[in-house]
Every structure is written in C-alpha cells, then in structure tokens.
Amino acid sequence: MLTQPLFFGVWSPTQKGHFLHGSGGHTPASSERLARLDQGFCRGVKNRWGEVDPTQQIEGLARLHFVDGYTVLAFWDRSGDNRYGSNSAFLVPGRHAFADAVRLAREAFPSIWARFTFPVVLEGPDLLPEVAPGHCPGCNCGSRSQA
C-alpha cells in the first residue's frame, strides 16, 4: 500500500481519460489499482449494459468505502470531462471519517478540488472505525454507505 493519497479520474480537461494519479499528476509506479475505481464506488446502480442512469449521477454526492487499507471517497464529477459517466475517486491511506478524507484529499490535490463548481457532500452515514464489514451491499468494504 502506498502512503500518500491517490486520485482516480481526469487530471486535466486537456488530458481526457480516467487514470490513477499521485499528487504531482504522475501515475504511481506501483499503482495498486483497486477494482471498481471507474464508477464502481459512486452512487447508482448499473443496468445490464454496465451504465448508471444519468439521473442518478449527481455531481458531488459522495460515498465512502474502506477497501484494502484505503478510505475511498467517490462521486460523479464532470469538471474534467463533461460526459455522463465521468467520476472522481480519492484514495486516502487508512480509515477516515468524511471530513478528514475530504481535508486530506483536498490538501494532496488542490488543483483538482479548485475546479469543482459543486459542493461535495456525503450521502448516507459516515465511515466509522468500529463498523464491521458487510454493511455496504455487494461491496463488503466495511462502510455503511449503500451500493
């Protein structure tokens, strides 16, 4: 596991594509990619074609998960790519409550947060240290957010 926060999403509107980035925009050499980073931790249910209905893709409505030692803060985000399906996920080492995860992600990626024109708010209960695995249906991440 890496010790610094990571960002999965569009780094710049001029560099399309969702990738895993370290704080300087580089892709970490030992990128421990978590499955489902691209849309898998965001709000909404995928249909049989693997798409989430655009009406469920509310920008900034965040979910928290705890996976493989990271707090994953994920939400729909069209600030770097205006197409539906675009999203951002911040991976913060350790287990953190929403406010701390936002603070650490914002400190590590200020230029990404500066482009958000929407508030980032938590949907559902906060991620608490004492939560047992299995509260997130279909995820088993240990968070109490709903899939």
Q: Would you state the structure tokens that stand for residue 7, as one six-digit string?
A: 């960002």
d(CA 144, CA 8): 22
pLDDT score recorded for residue 61: 95
Q: Report the half-sphere exposure of 49 (CA within 13 A, side-chain side).
A: 4
For the chain, 147 residues long, give each residue's pLDDT as a single digit of tens: 678 899 999 888 787 788 888 887 767 655 455 668 888 889 887 887 778 889 999 999 999 998 888 999 999 999 988 998 889 999 999 999 999 999 999 999 999 999 999 999 999 777 655 544 544 544 555 544 433
Q: Is 17 left (phi over 0), alpha (psi -120 to 50) or beta?
A: left
Q: Where are the domains of the chain?
A: 6-122
> Is pTM beyond 0.85 here?
no
Listed in sequence order, the DSSP H helices in 68-114 are: 98-108, 110-114
